[in-house]
Structure 1
């Protein structure tokens, strides 16, 4: 009885740790967009360069994600994640300094820390909670989205009243990262040695068409999200919306996404596969982008529509990393591949969007870009929503799990 109680306490502590880590995976990024106009004015940044503020973390995701499985096999995923949280906290602190060099350097460190968390969370969930992949993925996506929404909404008000203005608004999220470091310390003390299969199973599934479909779905979804959180406030301000209201509209979008994400785990549990769900939610995103393109004056409505589609697509993209894998090692390998290539694709979005805005002196051309991305995502969803990724030689990258762990019944 005591061992069972201790085990349950340990699992509860792990779940809390994972959720607090998830709370830090977007807040330091989504708070940038509402402040971008002030940052550009104070530092003299042109739109394409300003787009790098959220593109640099994505490039860090792309560069580091393939290395995470190998590093986790060497040091253990718990210790690696703990180190990543320290890097993330340092990056936010560096970005508190109101200079362009500190802002960009901090963004790289932030991206490096988040990259590790992005890859390891799906793998840890698949390893420790194999029959609750959909539920816990929905929970961590909800926490991640909720805190990200708050970060967008309070960015301008904090910047208006806090000493240091926008730099304090960006740097204050280091306190939440520090809390995550402290809550993760118990996992460092009890971190297990990496299993032998983890040392053999770091090969990424480059030869799998399904893995490429999952990668494309995650990348296109992320491209749209990071374009929105970077540029939507400025787009709205150019259409007569105040900076504070634009920030709260971005908050509304993410709050709706948060509510939508709560419904997805139930759909994952009962659906035979996720093709129809993923395609329909991607089509909702396309509708929202088309709305901003054709009727920008109805920004309130399109924010709600984008939240409806975006929240579901985020949970699906994250869940695919576990549902399409056969075990924790496979989930880690698929996660590394999908997030490496996917975030490389996503990193192009904010920069290209800003460049198109500069070249065309308007928003129609850049909005057409995200419409095309959403249309492509709708097509890719029909492939990414079903099947199991296998290793290059056709065998599972580790043991064959029992039926209760296999996708999609693990949702």
Structure 2
């Protein structure tokens, strides 16, 4: 039921030189589904990551942080069907054993492997099945297997999520391709449940860490489905350095700005795809908050609107019960907010002005917008010049059904 979202074709996704991807069916939770994916990087690649702020983070997140601190990452291993979260010390043992198993196959050190898991929490990771599936995943590795990887990391997703772009940097053509997964338990507060973005641009490791954070902040940190921050959120950025241009040494340079903007566009496409495929979603909603004193308070108000079950169910019902939005603005936590400065629009319809119903507003105009599959909510705070934008979806009966049946 994804909102204006269809799966890409394999031909839409550009290979990234210096990287190959393999996918296998390991039976991690269910038989006959792609559930084990490996990314294989040639020597010299730079890798950076941003991870969940959930203090109850999964074992693979903890191991990834350890291994990234050592640098020189050569491989990623991703399983679906099991989150390896809430599994204590044994979860760490199994995450590290997964890295060691892939390292043996590739002739590299275990610390050069990053592990990722997604699925059910508080169940032991089936290490034997993962180890048994690794040879097939490695044998499957090809540069053009991005779509297979997008399918291989899905859980409750209904559509594979992947995107590509190309730019020219210092006369060289640079490729950018990424995949993401997620449909529920989404308020990343860092990245998304799982996201992987690669480029063959030449960029140093320290700068890539800065770039990864800025990409997350401009895309995945602007989406929410249900307000729940996962235990496993991971966003990984890889730069293979195969494009051949002079290394980028600053994101403020002309080349740095070109690369960042292109990667940000792909990241936003992947992040918005998660919202469009939100569990049970029927509408894609842009929340734009303007006139704040700073961007942080604009986001604070935006998330209050985007997380409100009353607002989200009103959108599902196409019911212009828009006082719910004003109420969310009011409880967002801005203590000195003056309601007399508040304006509210639905697309082009001016609903509220100076804290009250706009004289020209008619409910039939509000309902016309509410029936659309894509809607923009715009709020003016009347406090300054800052603005920010979030993306969310409605809340339907199917969301409850999907999550009630998740483990069956």
Bigger CA radius of gyration? 2
- TM-score by length of structure 2 reads 0.28
Indicate the structure whose relative CO is greater, using CA pairs within 8 Å and at least 6 residues apart.
1
* Structure with the largest fraction of strand: 2
- TM-score by length of structure 1 reads 0.28
